[in-house]
Copies of this chain bind each other. A is one copy, B any other.
Amino acid sequence: MTAIARSSSQLRCSKCSLNKFCLPVGLTNSDMTQLEDIIETSKNYQQNEAVYQAGDKFNKIYAVKSGIFSTVALDANGNEHIIGFHLPGELFGLDAIYSGRYISSPVAVTSSSVACSIDYQELSKLATSLPSLQNQLMCLMSKEVHFSHSAVGETSAEQKIAGFILNLSMRYQQRGYSPTRFQLLMPRKDIANYLAMAPETVSRMFKRLVNNGLLTIEQSEITINDLDKLKQMTGCDS
């Protein structure tokens, strides 16, 4: 029994849900097996449990299997800043390659969030023998840079919120989930922290978008009613 399920255009690893937008596109089944061999068994995290601490020595990168993780960095004044949210199928820990130490602590947003780890040394070694894997890794890193840039230019609170929703929408779509209906599992204050604004403003902006008919929100579930208008608001072409 192989642990790999091949669907129309993508390979998906049973261990970590990595798919073509995450890692292994262009990899043969044999390549995939090699990759799978170095993926370690996954671990279940409780709500607010940290995967590792900022400052720890870097040796592994992680893939989210289920749930949501947020990466939190502590500044010199002791304030926490949320750097990003990580959805199922996405990786975290890549930003630590440069300095050799993790720069932020990933914590589980939802209870029973699951992630698996990959030893970076082994991954790196494997990439040397698999050019397509090397290319995938470069693409992934490039993507991170790409999206950290695309948020630039969202100046007003309304734009930031619209951009945030759209970003999640796109990422869910890439992983095969609905781009217009998904759970907004992180608390308002975390969204506010991530977008560098007050929680109250997050509330007000959500309300405005709901009042304008662009969104519907019931409990933690969000429905996008007008994707085009939302895109228009952000001013981003993505």
Contacts and interface: CB of A to CB of B under 8 A. Distances in A.
A41 interface: no
Interface residues of A, number: 46
Interface of A: 73, 75-77, 79, 81, 83-84, 94-99, 103-104, 124-125, 127-128, 131, 134-135, 137-146, 148-150, 152-153, 155, 196, 231-232, 234-237
15 contacts: A73-B152, A75-B235, A75-B237, A79-B235, A83-B149, A94-B145, A95-B145, A97-B141, A98-B143, A99-B146, A104-B149, A128-B131, A141-B141, A141-B142, A148-B148
B142 A76 contact: no
Give 5 nearest A-B pairs by CB, closest first. A141-B141, A97-B142, A148-B148, A98-B142, A98-B143
B237 A142 contact: no
